[in-house]
Amino acid sequence: MAGQSVIGFSNISGDVFSSGVHSLFWLFVIVFLIFAAILVYHWQKYGGHSRTFFVIETVFAVGSLILGIIAFLALQSI
Amino acid sequence: MLSLDPGENLILEVHRHWYVLAAQALVMFVLAIAPLVFSSVISRFAPVHLSLPAEEASLKIFFYCLWLLILWVSFFVIWTNYYLDVWYVTDKRIISIDQVGVFHRKVSNIRFDSILDVSIEMRGAVQTLLKFGDIHIKTAIEQDKDFLMKNASNPDRVRKVIFDYHNITVERTRPTAVEDDSSHQQA
């Protein structure tokens, strides 16, 4: 009955709330990927193949992936 | 990528001081932990019926991760602006790259013979102790506008290098001026 439950701090039904949060997540993912693509484009264009930009790209990608996975796992239990 | 003329050598690369980036990173860190502090304060002092039930912890984690992702991408935008905002001092000119925003970039060339004055400004104890400050370059070409590098590392050394190359350029052009004068006199 988890899907039919009512969220504690509102009167919205669980299904509607859950689908809203899922939509928000995927919208966020799209916007985030656009920003990430713009950043990586800049780093490629102005940084060339320098080591600094490679390190920064790696740190950015790993950090984003970890946070994204945690958010996705949390989303599954909403 | 920096492209130099044939025979042109890079002498100095001037970035803003790391303190500027560290200060912005600190603000990001405070913003990152703010929801945790706020949440713990609420749960400690608020009445029981206002606090969220324990089963909604995953919802809190979800929104907190989104918040961290926003801060994460913002930090890298700040780092990009910091890193790409640079002056390259070569033996022929100064290439000023002003990265204002992600899609706003200004690139200017300052030739040494057009430089009228170079001044530096270090304000306060932090700038004096950590050796960073603003560098202003006044040129003959754009007299109403200074070229400015804010919070540049080691501005005193940068000013000295620019003056040295300015003097070398002036010395190089001086014999030509004498030759011109003598040719005028002969005429």
User: Do the domain assignments include residue B1?
Assistant: no
Same domain, B68 and B114: no
Q: Does B62 touch chain A (CB under 8 A)?
A: yes
- Summarised one tens digit per residue, pLDDT across range B141-181 is 877 778 899 999 999 999 999 999 998 888 887 765 555 55
CB-CB contact of B120 with B160 (8 Å): no
Is-contact B158 B152, C-beta < 8 A?
yes
- Please report the residues numbered 43 through 72 in chain A whose beta carbons come closer than 8 angstroms to any beta carbon of chain B: 43, 45-48, 52, 56, 60, 63-64, 67-68, 70-71
Return the half-sphere exposure (C-beta side, CA atoms, 13 A cut-off) of residue B151: 13
B67 and B119 fall within a common domain: no
Question: In Å, how far from its chain's centre is CA B111?
Answer: 20
Q: Is B50 a domain residue?
A: yes
Question: pLDDT value at position B49?
Answer: 57
ipTM above 0.85, yes or no: no
Rounded to 10 degrees, the C-alpha dihedral A25/A30/A34/A36 comes to 40
Whether B95 and B167 map to the same domain: the answer is: yes
Cross-chain residue pair B76–A71, CB shorter than 8 Å: no
Q: For residues B40 and B31, what is the distance between their CA atoms, to the nearest angstrom?
A: 15
Mean of the pLDDT values across residues B21-27?
A: 96
* Domain boundaries, position B99: 89-186
Domain boundary (B31, B49, B81) is at B81
- Please state whether the predicted TM-score (pTM) of the whole model is above 0.90: no
Q: Where do the domains of chain A lie?
A: 2-76
Q: How many CB atoms sit inside 10 A of residue B174's CB?
A: 10
B59 touching chain A per CB within 8 A: yes
pLDDT, chain B, mean: 86
Within this chain, do residues B135 and B170 fall inside the same structural domain, yes or no? yes
Question: How many domains, chain B?
Answer: 2
Order of strands, sheet of B132-139, starting from the edge strand that comes earlier in the sequence: B115-121, B132-139, B147-153
For residue B150, tell me if it sits in a domain. Answer: yes
Mutate: best of B18, B48, B80, partner A, most A CBs <10 A: B80
A60:B52 CB<8 A: no
Question: Do B72 and B126 lie in a common domain?
Answer: no
**A4, A17 Cβ separation under 8 angstroms:** no
Rounded to the nearest angstrom, the minimum Cα separation between A13 and chain B is 14
Domain end residue (candidates: B55, B81, B107): B81
Please check whether residue B75 lies inside any domain of the structure: yes
8 Å CB contact between B90 and A53: no
Residue B172: give its domain's CATH number.
Answer: 2.30.29
User: Which pLDDT tens digit goes with each residue over A36-77?
Assistant: 898 888 888 887 678 888 898 899 999 999 999 999 998 888
The confidence score (pLDDT) of residue A5 equals 46
Can you tell me the distance from the alpha carbon of B121 to that of B132, in angstroms, rounded to the nearest whole number?
9
Angle between helix axes B57-84 and B18-45 (nearest 10 degrees) is 170
